[in-house]
C-alpha cells in the first residue's frame, strides 16, 4: 500500500519550479500566520485549512501521477483544470491569503516595489479584466488547434496550467474579498454578482458545444494514445460535461458566499 501511494505521489515529470512555488506559498502562509498570531490577529483554523486544501489539490493535479492521466485523457485534463481554475483556486481565495502573505514582510514596506506592481494589480483585479481573463483563458486553451500544440509542448503545457491557476486565484480573490467594499474600495457586491453571471453562461455554452460536437474535436489524444481504452466519443462527452456542470455549480457557490458577505455587511451597517 505504501509503495502504491508513493508511486501515485511521484511526479510524472519533475518540475523544480512547481515544487519551489508551492513550498514558497506554504512557507509564506506559515510565517505570515505566526507573525499575525504575535499581534493577536492569527488566521482562523478554517482559513488555514481552506488555503492548504486548495494548495494541495492544485499540487496533486499538476505534480503527481494524476498529471500523466491529464496528458492522455481529455476528461482527466478537464478535471485538472476544474481544480486549478475553480475548486483549488476558490479554496485558496476563500482563505483570504493576501493579508497573511503580506505579513511575511513583518510590517516593513517596500515603496518602490509596491509602486512598480500597483498598476499591474489594478489592471488584473479590475472586475472587467478579471472576468474576461477568467473566461477567455478557458476558451483560448480549449481552442482545438491551441490545445493540440499545448498538449505536445512541455513549456506550453506548463504555461497553460499555471495561467489557469493564477488567473483562477485572481478572479476568486476579487469575488471572495471579505472586506467592506465601501471601506476597502474593492468591487461592490452587485458587481461581483454580475461577474459571476458573465462567467457562468460562456462556460455553459462551451461545455455544451464540446459535449454535443462530433467526436474527434481534440484529436491530439488519439494521436498520442489514451491512458485507458475509452472511446473518443465518451472521452469528449465526459470532458464536455466537466466543462459545463461543475464550473456552473462553483459559480453558484461563489454567489452564495458573496450573498453571505453582503448580508453580514448590511447587518453591521444597521
Per-residue pLDDT averaged across 103-132, rounded? 78
pLDDT in tens, 7-24: 788 888 989 999 999 999
- pLDDT recorded at residue 108: 58
Reading the block at residue 219, the C-alpha cell is: 484529436
Question: Which pLDDT score, from 0 to 100, does residue 8 have?
Answer: 81
The whole-number pLDDT of residue 105 equals 74
* pLDDT over 90 (residue 70): yes
SS (H, E, C) the chain: CHHHHHHHHCCCCCCHHHHHHHHHHHHHHHHHHHHHHHCCCCCCHHHHHHHHHHHHHHHHHHCCCHHHHHHHCHHHHHHHHHHHHHHHHHHHHHCCHHHHHHHHHCCCCCHHHHHHHHHHHHHHCCHHHHHHHHHHHHHHHHCHHHHHHHHHCHHHHHHHHHHHHHHHHHHHHHHCCCCCHHHHCCCCHHHHHHHHHHHHHHHHHHHHHHHHCCCCCCCHHHHHCCCCCCCHHHHHHHHHHHHHHHHHHHHHHHHHHHHHHHHHHHHHHC
Compute the mean pLDDT over every residue in the chain, rounded to the nearest whole number. Answer: 92
pLDDT at 270 over 60: no
At 125 the pLDDT is 93
Who's near 172: CB < 8 A, 6+ residues apart? 89, 90, 92, 93, 94, 254
pLDDT digits (tens, 9 = 90+) for 15-52: 999 999 999 999 999 999 999 999 989 999 999 999 99
* Mean predicted confidence (pLDDT) in 253-262: 95
Mean pLDDT of the 181-207 span:
93
Confidence at 106, pLDDT banded by 50, 70, 90: low
Q: What percent of the chain has pLDDT over 70?
A: 94
Segment 152-165 shows an average pLDDT of 96
Contact 90, 176 (CB under 8 A): yes
* Residue 185 reports pLDDT greater than 90: no
* Residue 92: closest CA among 44, 33, 49, 50: 50
pLDDT of residue 9: 81
Which residues in 102-115 are b (16+ Cβ under 10 Å) and which e? Answer: ebbeeeeeeeeeee
Residue 90 has pLDDT above 60, yes or no: yes
Name the range with the highest mean pLDDT among 2-6, 115-119, 121-125, 174-178: 174-178
Amino acid at each position: 500500500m505504501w509503495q502504491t501511494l508513493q508511486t501515485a505521489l511521484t511526479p510524472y515529470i519533475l518540475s523544480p519550479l512547481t515544487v519551489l512555488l508551492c513550498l514558497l506559498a506554504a512557507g509564506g502562509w506559515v510565517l505570515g500566520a505566526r507573525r499575525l498570531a504575535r499581534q493577536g490577529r492569527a488566521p482562523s483554523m478554517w482559513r488555514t485549512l481552506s488555503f492548504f486544501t486548495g494548495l494541495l489539490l492544485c499540487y496533486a493535479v499538476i505534480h503527481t501521477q494524476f498529471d500523466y492521466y491529464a496528458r492522455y485523457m481529455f476528461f482527466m485534463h478537464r478535471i485538472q483544470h476544474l481544480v486549478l481554475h475553480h475548486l483549488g483556486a476558490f479554496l485558496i481565495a476563500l482563505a483570504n491569503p493576501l493579508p497573511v502573505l503580506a505579513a511575511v514582510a513583518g510590517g516593513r514596506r517596500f515603496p518602490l516595489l509596491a509602486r512598480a506592481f500597483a498598476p499591474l494589480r489594478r489592471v488584473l483585479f479590475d472586475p472587467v479584466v478579471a472576468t474576461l481573463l477568467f473566461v477567455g483563458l478557458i476558451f483560448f486553451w480549449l481552442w482545438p488547434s491551441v490545445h493540440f500544440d499545448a498538449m505536445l509542448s512541455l513549456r506550453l503545457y506548463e504555461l497553460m496550467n499555471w495561467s489557469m491557476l493564477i488567473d483562477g486565484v485572481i478572479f476568486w480573490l476579487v469575488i471572495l474579498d471579505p472586506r467592506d467594499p465601501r471601506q476597502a474600495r474593492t468591487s461592490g457586491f452587485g458587481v461581483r454578482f454580475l461577474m459571476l453571471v458573465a462567467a457562468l453562461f460562456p462556460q455553459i455554452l462551451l461545455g455544451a458545444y464540446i459535449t454535443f460536437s462530433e467526436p474527434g474535436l481534440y484529436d491530439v489524444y488519439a494521436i498520442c494514445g489514451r491512458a485507458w481504452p475509452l472511446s473518443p466519443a465518451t472521452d469528449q462527452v465526459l470532458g464536455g460535461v466537466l466543462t459545463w456542470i461543475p464550473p456552473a455549480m462553483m459559480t453558484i457557490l461563489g454567489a452564495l458566499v458573496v450573498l453571505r458577505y453582503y448580508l453580514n455587511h448590511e447587518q453591521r451597517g444597521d
